[in-house]
Amino acid sequence: MRVVNLRDFEDVAREKLDPVFYDYFASGAQDEVTVAANEAAYRRLALVPRILRGAGLPSLATRVLGCAASMPVMLAPTAFHRLAWPSEGEAATARAARDAGVIMIAAMLSTITVEEIAAAGGTLWFQLYVQPDRGFTESLVRRAEAAGCRALVVTVDSPALGRNERGDRNDFHDLPPGVFCANLRGDGWSNGHVRQVVLSPEISWSHVEWLREVTRLPILLKGVLHPEDARLAVENGVDGLIVSNHGGRQLDTTPASIDRLPVIADAVAGRVPLIVDGGVRRGTDVVKALALGASAVAIGRPVLWGLAADGSEGVAAVLALLRREIENALTLCGAASAGDLGRDQVVRQGMP
Ligand code: FNR
């Protein structure tokens, strides 16, 4: 099959993957209402182009929290890349991100260590699930810093694990032999002990305050949907927000993330950069997010589909396709860059 867009990559990946792993990547919580809503919401938004602006070819390069990126697309943190590409896992993803000049957010639950991911040499941020054991959490932060990660992304939408029913039906509760959370492995390879990640409902703003003291890295909160939380985050010294519902994998029936972006942008009023993820599949989706106030978007599943299809080259192809689509959409909108887009260029389909 000829692959011409991001959705085609999902078809290729579905063919290649163990169906249980495909379900793990594709699925969401319970009825997967939010999974569907994320993509549907972009379709309900319409782009209003401006004309005759003589904008020339658009420039996609940007900076987010001091990090240069060749386009406003990041790799969202996703766990267990060796389920998609067993030989290399996250190393293959990291090479593609480096070559494309985009920021990769390395997941704490990666299947190779953060040091091994960083060896690719691209721009890396580190995603953290704060662990009730503060000493252990701090040791992860120190490792991320030492590996050269440039920001800390604290996932805050996971006080418990979402209820994944496809996983239950497939009885998928353990990683296959030889695949494990490499960052959680105890000292020394000999004992083979891997810590369990703890998703704790006790995590609170006090942990964010504590992290603020523990590290000088910029801190982003990932999984913000309520404008009041966005306001609190800024007051608590957070440097950036990821407007996200975890790709519909945590609380089912949350709103589509793109539909929350405008209210959160209003609450934050430009004080910190916003990133949005969930359902971004087209260059037009990216342009809509930028027009509504995002500094960048992040993509989760499309990266996994590219990785499963063809390793590093598959991820590279996903990023190249998306780049071309963003350039095309910006040009057709009459914009020379994201900064040229106005919020008035996005309306609800069917509304004047
Ligand atoms: C995720 N996501 C995620 N987020 C996070 O903070 N830590 C994690 O370990 C994971 N793991 C993970 C695994 C898989 C298989 C998926 C699909 C997602 C959520 C991810 O960062 C992001 O929010 C969503 O994937 C964005 O939605 P799309 O682009 O997949 O629609």
Cα(125) to centroid of ligand 1, in Å?
Answer: 15
Q: Which residues contact 146 (CB under 8 A, 6 or more apart)?
A: 115
Whether 16 is covered by a domain: the verdict is: yes
Asked if 246 and 223 count as a contact pair (C-beta separation under 8 A), the reply is yes
pLDDT at 352: 81
Which whole number is the average pLDDT over 198-225? 98
For a substitution probing ligand 1, which of 128, 246, 258, 286 has the most ligand atoms within 8 Å of its CB?
A: 246
Closest-CA residue, ligand 1 atom 18, reads 78
Whether 61 is covered by a domain: the verdict is: no
Whether 73 is covered by a domain: the verdict is: yes
Closest-CA residue, ligand 1 atom 16, reads 78
Q: Does any ligand 1 atom lie closer than 6 A to the CB of residue 77? A: yes
Whether 344 is covered by a domain: the verdict is: no
Range of the domain at 202: 6-53+66-335
State the complex-level ipTM: 1.00
153 Cα nearest atom in ligand 1: 6
Q: What are phi and psi of 75, to 5 degrees?
A: -90, 115
pLDDT digit string (tens) for 71-104?
999 999 999 999 999 999 999 999 999 999 999 9
Q: Does any ligand 1 atom lie closer than 6 A to the CB of residue 278? A: yes
pLDDT at 193: 74
pLDDT at 187: 57
pLDDT digit string (tens) for 14-61?
999 999 999 999 999 999 999 999 999 999 999 999 999 999 999 999
Q: Which residues pair with 241 in a beta bridge?
A: 221, 274
In angstroms, what CA-CA distances link 243 with 122, 127, 226, 288, 295?
24, 15, 9, 14, 11
Give, in degrees to the nearest 5, the angle at Cα 255 between 29 and 130: 60
For a substitution probing ligand 1, which of 249, 252, 297 has the most ligand atoms within 8 Å of its CB?
A: 249
Q: Does any ligand 1 atom lie closer than 6 A to the CB of residue 282? A: no
Q: Does any ligand 1 atom lie closer than 6 A to the CB of residue 280? A: yes
Tell me, yes or no, if 246 is annotated catalytic. yes
Q: Does any ligand 1 atom lie closer than 6 A to the CB of residue 25? A: yes
Is residue 225 predicted with pLDDT exceeding 70?
yes
Distance CA 168, CA 288 (A): 36
pLDDT at 16: 98
How many domains is the chain built from?
1
Q: Does any ligand 1 atom lie closer than 6 A to the CB of residue 21? A: no
More confident position, 345 or 186? 345
Q: Does any ligand 1 atom lie closer than 6 A to the CB of residue 111? A: no
Cα(307) to centroid of ligand 1, in Å?
Answer: 14
Write down the pTM of the prediction.
0.98
Within 13 Å and on the Cβ side, how many CA atoms surround 344? 2
In b/e form, how buried is each residue of 142-161, taking b as 16+ CB within 10 angstroms?
ebbbebebbbbbbbbbbeee
Whether 60 is covered by a domain: the verdict is: no
Cα(273) to centroid of ligand 1, in Å?
Answer: 20
127 Cα nearest atom in ligand 1: 6
Whether 310 is covered by a domain: the verdict is: yes
Identify the active-site residue in 173, 207, 226, 246: 246
Asked if 294 and 261 count as a contact pair (C-beta separation under 8 A), the reply is yes
Whether 347 is covered by a domain: the verdict is: no
Q: Does any ligand 1 atom lie closer than 6 A to the CB of residue 109? A: yes
Whether 59 is covered by a domain: the verdict is: no
Pairing of strands 152-155, 219-224: parallel
Torsion of CA 123, 243, 205, 227, to 10 degrees: 140
Cα(182) to centroid of ligand 1, in Å?
Answer: 18
pLDDT at 188: 46
Q: Which residues pair with 74 in a beta bridge?
A: 298
Radius of gyration of the chain (CA): 19
CATH classification at residue 142:
3.20.20.70
Cα(128) to centroid of ligand 1, in Å?
Answer: 13
Which whole number is the average pLDDT over 211-216? 98
Mean pLDDT of the chain: 97
Q: Does any ligand 1 atom lie closer than 6 A to the CB of residue 285? A: no
Minimal CA–CA distance to 131: which of 77, 79, 189, 196?
196
301 Cα nearest atom in ligand 1: 30
Find tokens 């599949």 and name the residue.
281
Residue 133 burial (CB count, 10 A): 12
Q: Does any ligand 1 atom lie closer than 6 A to the CB of residue 155? A: yes
